[in-house]
Every structure is written in C-alpha cells, then in structure tokens.
Structure 1
Amino acid sequence: MWHAQCQRYGGLEPELQRTLRSLAEGKPLRRATGGAPRPGTQLVREWNGRTYRVNVTKDCYVMAGERFKSLSAIARRITGTSWSGPRFFGLNGTARAGT
C-alpha cells in the first residue's frame, strides 16, 4: 500500500528523507529556527508575475478563501510541484525566484 501511495503522491519530501537518514545514522536532530508564523500574520509571495497572499490562523492557512493545513500544500497548489512551504515563503532561508 505504501508503495502505491508513493507512486501516486510522490513519496516523502526530500527534507524529511534527509532528516530520517541522519537520525538512522545516529546524528542529532537539527531544529529549524523561527518556528511557524503566528496567527494574524499575512505571508505574501510573488510567483510567475502573480502575487499570492496567505493569512495565518490559529489552526490553518487561508489563501483566496480556501483553507489549507500546511504551507507546503499551498506552495504545491501555486507551483504545481512539491516544495517546502516555509522555504517557498522565505521563512527558513531564501525562496527561489519565480520563473
């Protein structure tokens, strides 16, 4: 069943794969700095000439009236590919420019 899900949905995110590999090798877990954005924050990202605004609420993220459980789901919706949502929105490093 897991293999079928991987084929259909793309498997584990690369960052999670790296984390799991590091833990399996006995390396300490590196924690991200900053944490999740606070409720009330508005994230703005330009992608391919279009501006996207995401409102952070207590239990979800809202973009254009649609609720999402994660920033990665929003980044996937915007780009059509698998992205780290925090990275896409520039929360843990520099987001790459939209092309």
Structure 2
Amino acid sequence: MSPIVETIECSQLENADAATLRWLWAEIKGSDPPRTFTARLMRLALAWEAQSNAQGCEAARSRRDWNRIIRRTSGTGANKRVEAAPGRSVCDGTRILKDWGGTTHEVLITARGGAIWNGQSYSSLSAVARAMTGTNRNGPKFFGLREEVKS
C-alpha cells in the first residue's frame, strides 16, 4: 500500500484539480487512470480507496486478485460456469437431479452453459425449466443453485 493512501483524506480530494488527481491515481493505483474518467470519477474512486484504507478494508485490487485466483482454481477455464450462487459452481458434465411433478428429472450441463434434458439440447437451465414446467422460470433458482448453503 502506498504511503500516500495512508495520509490522504477525502477533504483534500475535494479541491484537487485533474492533474493532481491523475498524479494521485498513478501513485496509489500504480497505473494511469482510465481515459474516460473525469475529475469527479477519480475523486470518487480515490475517496473510496482512502475510506477503505482508513477502515481497514481490503483494497479493490486485492479483491480482484482473490476473485481471479478463485476463478482459476475452480476450473472455469475450459468449463464455463452456469450462473450460480457464490461458492456454488456448475461446470461441464455436472448432472442435476430435480423432483418435479412426482418424477425425478435428470439434466446434464454442457460445455457452453447449455443443458441436455430428455435427450434434447437447451440453451440454458431456464429453457429446461420452461420446457419442464410450461412456465417461465429462473433456471438456476428452479434447480436450487441460488439457494443459500446452510451449515
């Protein structure tokens, strides 16, 4: 963490001009700000950084790095994940069983995020849920992928 972040206060950012904000950005984040960022956006981002540092929160860069590591280790490279609740991933080859209408249905997740049910390919779990029930439904929720994990 840059020593500048530790000493900067939000009130100092309020009157800073664009050149000063760009310099602060480079010192704090280690790169130039995006070209589309106005002075107002740089102020907001730098103020957030200063506040999170003052409160002991992790930096946005650390959070992004952790998320990248999680994605890399969860096998999402070749296996595209279907939308799921945090911590619950569904990859190519995953078999989902669903009791519906007194029958247990088996759905197989395919490599492109689609699914196979009753020998027919579908573009998404929502399409399978619609075919299975006859109504529009959120597929991940219908198949229990959005439920909270209870321990």
SS in 1 for 2:98: strand
| Aligned mates of 2:87, 2:130 — CA distance in 1 | 22
Structure 1's unaligned 5+ residue stretches are: 1-31, 95-99
| Aligned mates of 2:147, 2:94 — CA distance in 1 | 18
| Aligned mates of 2:110, 2:125 — CA distance in 1 | 12
Residues 50-85 of structure 1: CA deviation (Å, up to 9, x unaligned):
111001120221111100010000001111111100
Q: Within 5 A, what are the aligned runs for 1:39-58?
A: 39-58=92-111
- TM-score of the two chains, using structure 2 as the length reference: 0.39
Higher relative contact order by CA 8 Å / sep ≥ 6: 1 or 2? Answer: 1
| Higher fraction of helix | 2
| Higher fraction of strand | 1
Per the alignment, residue 67 of structure 1 pairs with 121
Per the alignment, residue 23 of structure 1 pairs with none
Q: Does 1:91 align with 2:145?
A: yes
| Aligned mates of 1:34, 1:68 — CA distance in 2 | 25
Structure 2's unaligned 5+ residue stretches are: 1-84
Instruction: Count residues in correspondence.
Output: 64
| Aligned mates of 1:35, 1:53 — CA distance in 2 | 19
- C-alpha contact 1:34 1:92 (8 A) present in aligned 2: no
Deviation at 1:36, TM superposition (A): 5.1
CA RMSD of aligned residues (A): 2.0
Q: What is the percentage of aligned positions where both structures have the same residue?
A: 40
| Aligned mates of 1:68, 1:81 — CA distance in 2 | 15
Per the alignment, residue 134 of structure 2 pairs with 80
Alignment-mate amino acid for residue 74 of structure 1: V
| Aligned mates of 2:145, 2:94 — CA distance in 1 | 12
Q: Which runs of 4+ in 1 moved over 4 A?
A: none
Deviation at 1:37, TM superposition (A): 1.0
- TM-score of the two chains, using structure 1 as the length reference: 0.58
**Aligned pair in 2 of structure 1 residues 41, 74: CA closer, same or farther (>3 Å)?**
same
SS in 2 for 1:33: coil
